[in-house]
């Protein structure tokens, strides 16, 4: 699903990742681990296409396609999802509106057809019930007034609706209570067609996820995998 080849990344002239090579099998639940400041979040943000990180050399091959120079939007439409550790609040943009436009864009890119409102609402209701998310959350602004655990559940709602080929989850267990952590793990296990790359510092969570592979990074360099 993902091949990273001799990747070197910098920001403002400072090298952050050095000669990173990484291979993620299709269908894996792949743990990226390492101490704080080792380069984990830099690597996943680079994979997702964050323009703040400059790729000096190397390649990122996603599902057989070289996406090294593709922007974040294109990567998302190709089937890449990122659940960031720190998500922004967006006052004035409701959860419902955000999810609707996201799913419409993905459906049109994948199939060339327009998603009807009835189909969207049917998919949304199914996902909402699966996660036991109150209906009134849908009319609230994105992440405004939501707790850490509630933000994680909203992330899961988007994940289920878009059903990506590849999902990057940066510390999905952080700020989540035991019940929410189990819900996250259960969702990952149920999504058989999605490959996961996730970051976690909690062994209890990695056991729940039943990780299938592990790569360790330290000082911007892969030291195991």
Domain enclosing residue 214, as ranges:
2-224
Instruction: Give tens-digit pLDDT for 169-203.
Output: 998 888 788 888 999 999 999 999 999 999 988 88
pLDDT at 123 over 80: yes
Q: What is the pLDDT of residue 89?
A: 85
- How many structural domains is the chain composed of? 1
Closest CA to 91 of 138, 139, 142: 142
Find out whether 137 and 97 touch, Cβ atoms under 8 Å: no
Find out whether 85 and 44 touch, Cβ atoms under 8 Å: no
User: Beta strand 221-224 with 166-170: parallel, antiparallel or unpaired?
Assistant: unpaired
pLDDT at 30 over 60: yes
In this structure, what token pair is assigned to residue 110?
A: 């994948």
At residue 124 the predicted structure's pLDDT band, cuts being 50, 70 and 90, is very high
Round to whole Å and give the CA distance between 169 and 146.
Answer: 19
Residue 65 sits in a domain whose CATH number is 3.40.50.300
pLDDT at 80 over 70: yes
Find out whether 215 and 22 touch, Cβ atoms under 8 Å: yes
Q: What is the pLDDT of residue 224?
A: 59
Is the overall model pTM greater than 0.85, yes or no? yes
Lowest mean pLDDT segment, chosen from 62-66, 111-115, 135-139: 111-115
């Amino acid at each position: 699903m993902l091949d990273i080849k001799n990747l070197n990344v910098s920001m403002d002239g400072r090298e952050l990742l050095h000669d990173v090579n990484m291979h993620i099998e299709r269908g894996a639940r792949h743990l990226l681990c390492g101490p704080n400041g080792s380069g984990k979040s830099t690597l996943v943000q680079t994979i997702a296409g964050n323009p703040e990180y400059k790729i000096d050399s190397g390649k990122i091959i996603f599902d057989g396609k070289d996406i090294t120079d593709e922007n974040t939007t294109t990567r998302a439409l190709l089937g890449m999802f990122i659940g960031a550790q720190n998500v922004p609040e967006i006052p004035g943009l409701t959860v419902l509106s955000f999810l609707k436009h996201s799913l419409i864009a993905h459906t049109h890119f994948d199939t060339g057809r327009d998603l009807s409102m009835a189909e969207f609402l049917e998919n949304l209701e199914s996902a909402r019930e699966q996660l036991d998310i109150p209906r009134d959350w849908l009319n609230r602004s994105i992440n405004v007034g939501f707790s850490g655990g509630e933000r994680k559940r909203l992330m899961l709602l988007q994940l289920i609706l878009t059903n990506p080929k590849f999902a990057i989850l940066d510390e999905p267990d952080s700020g989540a209570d035991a019940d929410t952590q189990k819900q996250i793990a259960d969702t990952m296990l149920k999504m058989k067609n999605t490959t996961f790359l996730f970051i976690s510092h909690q062994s209890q969570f990695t056991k729940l996820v039943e990780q299938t592979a592990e790569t360790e990074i330290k000082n911007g360099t892969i030291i195991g995998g």
